[in-house]
Amino acid sequence: MPTIQQADPAARRRAVRALVVVAVLGTLMILLFEHLFSESWTDEHIAFLLENSHLVLLFFLLLGLPLVGASIYLLAFARRVSAAERFPPPGYAVTRDTVVLEGAAARRRAWMIRILATVILLTATGTPFFMWYLFAQIAAPN
Protein backbone atom coordinates (compact mmCIF):
# COMPACT_ATOMS: atom_id res chain seq x y z
CA MET A 1 0.00 0.00 0.00
CA PRO A 2 1.48 3.40 -1.00
CA THR A 3 2.25 6.00 1.63
CA ILE A 4 0.02 9.09 1.46
CA GLN A 5 1.19 12.47 2.74
CA GLN A 6 -1.80 14.37 4.05
CA ALA A 7 -2.64 17.84 2.76
CA ASP A 8 -1.69 20.82 4.89
CA PRO A 9 -4.56 23.36 5.01
CA ALA A 10 -2.12 26.18 5.85
CA ALA A 11 -0.04 25.33 2.78
CA ARG A 12 -3.20 25.41 0.66
CA ARG A 13 -4.08 28.88 1.97
CA ARG A 14 -0.54 30.12 1.28
CA ALA A 15 -0.69 28.71 -2.26
CA VAL A 16 -4.03 30.39 -2.97
CA ARG A 17 -2.74 33.70 -1.60
CA ALA A 18 0.39 33.43 -3.72
CA LEU A 19 -1.66 32.68 -6.85
CA VAL A 20 -3.92 35.66 -6.21
CA VAL A 21 -0.94 37.98 -5.66
CA VAL A 22 0.82 36.73 -8.82
CA ALA A 23 -2.38 37.05 -10.86
CA VAL A 24 -2.99 40.62 -9.66
CA LEU A 25 0.65 41.64 -10.23
CA GLY A 26 0.65 40.01 -13.66
CA THR A 27 -2.53 41.80 -14.64
CA LEU A 28 -1.15 45.12 -13.43
CA MET A 29 2.08 44.58 -15.36
CA ILE A 30 0.17 43.77 -18.55
CA LEU A 31 -1.99 46.87 -18.17
CA LEU A 32 1.08 49.01 -17.43
CA PHE A 33 2.97 47.71 -20.46
CA GLU A 34 -0.07 48.20 -22.69
CA HIS A 35 -0.35 51.78 -21.44
CA LEU A 36 3.35 52.65 -21.61
CA PHE A 37 4.33 50.73 -24.72
CA SER A 38 1.40 51.22 -27.03
CA GLU A 39 1.74 50.86 -30.78
CA SER A 40 2.19 54.60 -31.16
CA TRP A 41 5.01 54.58 -28.58
CA THR A 42 6.76 51.82 -30.51
CA ASP A 43 6.35 53.70 -33.80
CA GLU A 44 7.78 56.86 -32.25
CA HIS A 45 10.77 55.15 -30.59
CA ILE A 46 11.71 52.36 -32.99
CA ALA A 47 14.75 54.26 -34.28
CA PHE A 48 16.01 54.75 -30.70
CA LEU A 49 15.50 51.05 -29.93
CA LEU A 50 17.29 49.98 -33.08
CA GLU A 51 20.24 52.26 -32.27
CA ASN A 52 20.35 51.04 -28.65
CA SER A 53 19.65 47.34 -28.98
CA HIS A 54 21.45 46.74 -25.66
CA LEU A 55 18.42 48.32 -23.96
CA VAL A 56 16.26 45.63 -25.56
CA LEU A 57 18.61 43.04 -24.08
CA LEU A 58 18.36 44.66 -20.65
CA PHE A 59 14.56 44.88 -20.86
CA PHE A 60 14.17 41.20 -21.72
CA LEU A 61 16.74 40.18 -19.10
CA LEU A 62 14.65 41.96 -16.47
CA LEU A 63 11.51 40.24 -17.72
CA GLY A 64 13.25 36.86 -17.47
CA LEU A 65 14.52 37.28 -13.91
CA PRO A 66 11.46 35.68 -12.26
CA LEU A 67 11.87 32.66 -14.54
CA VAL A 68 15.55 32.39 -13.66
CA GLY A 69 14.59 32.48 -9.98
CA ALA A 70 11.95 29.80 -10.50
CA SER A 71 14.40 27.54 -12.32
CA ILE A 72 17.01 27.94 -9.57
CA TYR A 73 14.36 27.02 -6.99
CA LEU A 74 13.36 23.96 -9.03
CA LEU A 75 16.99 22.84 -9.34
CA ALA A 76 17.43 23.11 -5.56
CA PHE A 77 14.15 21.26 -5.03
CA ALA A 78 15.25 18.47 -7.38
CA ARG A 79 18.53 18.20 -5.44
CA ARG A 80 16.56 17.76 -2.20
CA VAL A 81 14.36 15.10 -3.81
CA SER A 82 17.44 13.23 -5.06
CA ALA A 83 19.22 13.48 -1.71
CA ALA A 84 16.19 12.24 0.24
CA GLU A 85 15.15 9.75 -2.46
CA ARG A 86 11.63 10.78 -1.58
CA PHE A 87 9.06 12.96 -3.34
CA PRO A 88 7.87 15.19 -1.79
CA PRO A 89 10.99 15.62 0.35
CA PRO A 90 10.62 15.40 4.12
CA GLY A 91 9.41 18.63 5.68
CA TYR A 92 7.61 19.90 2.56
CA ALA A 93 3.92 20.62 2.96
CA VAL A 94 1.52 19.57 0.21
CA THR A 95 -1.74 21.23 -0.82
CA ARG A 96 -3.58 17.98 -1.45
CA ASP A 97 -3.19 14.37 -0.36
CA THR A 98 -0.15 13.12 -2.25
CA VAL A 99 1.24 9.66 -2.90
CA VAL A 100 4.84 9.59 -1.66
CA LEU A 101 7.35 8.35 -4.22
CA GLU A 102 10.51 6.71 -2.94
CA GLY A 103 13.68 5.30 -4.44
CA ALA A 104 13.91 5.09 -8.23
CA ALA A 105 10.53 6.76 -8.76
CA ALA A 106 11.62 9.78 -6.70
CA ARG A 107 14.93 9.96 -8.59
CA ARG A 108 13.01 9.93 -11.91
CA ARG A 109 10.79 12.74 -10.65
CA ALA A 110 13.88 14.74 -9.63
CA TRP A 111 15.34 14.12 -13.10
CA MET A 112 12.14 15.43 -14.75
CA ILE A 113 12.18 18.51 -12.49
CA ARG A 114 15.81 19.16 -13.49
CA ILE A 115 14.89 18.94 -17.18
CA LEU A 116 11.99 21.36 -16.67
CA ALA A 117 14.22 23.77 -14.73
CA THR A 118 16.91 23.61 -17.41
CA VAL A 119 14.43 24.31 -20.21
CA ILE A 120 13.01 27.27 -18.26
CA LEU A 121 16.52 28.58 -17.53
CA LEU A 122 17.66 28.26 -21.15
CA THR A 123 14.51 29.96 -22.40
CA ALA A 124 14.69 32.77 -19.84
CA THR A 125 18.33 33.48 -20.64
CA GLY A 126 18.25 32.75 -24.37
CA THR A 127 15.25 34.90 -25.29
CA PRO A 128 16.86 38.23 -24.29
CA PHE A 129 19.95 37.46 -26.36
CA PHE A 130 17.85 36.37 -29.31
CA MET A 131 15.84 39.60 -29.14
CA TRP A 132 19.05 41.65 -28.87
CA TYR A 133 20.49 39.80 -31.88
CA LEU A 134 17.27 40.36 -33.83
CA PHE A 135 17.27 44.10 -33.12
CA ALA A 136 21.00 44.33 -33.90
CA GLN A 137 20.45 42.59 -37.24
CA ILE A 138 17.55 44.86 -38.16
CA ALA A 139 19.61 47.92 -37.26
CA ALA A 140 22.77 46.74 -39.06
CA PRO A 141 23.52 48.62 -42.26
CA ASN A 142 23.14 46.46 -45.34
pTM, two decimals, is: 0.81
Render 66-117 in DSSP notation, one character per residue.
HHHHHHHHHHHHHHHHHHHTEESPTT---SS-EEPEETHHHHHHHHHHHHHH
pLDDT tens by residue, 119-129: 999 999 999 99
Range 49-57 average pLDDT = 82
Domain residue spans of the chain: 4-139
pLDDT tens by residue, 2-52: 899 999 999 999 999 999 999 999 899 889 888 877 777 777 887 887 788
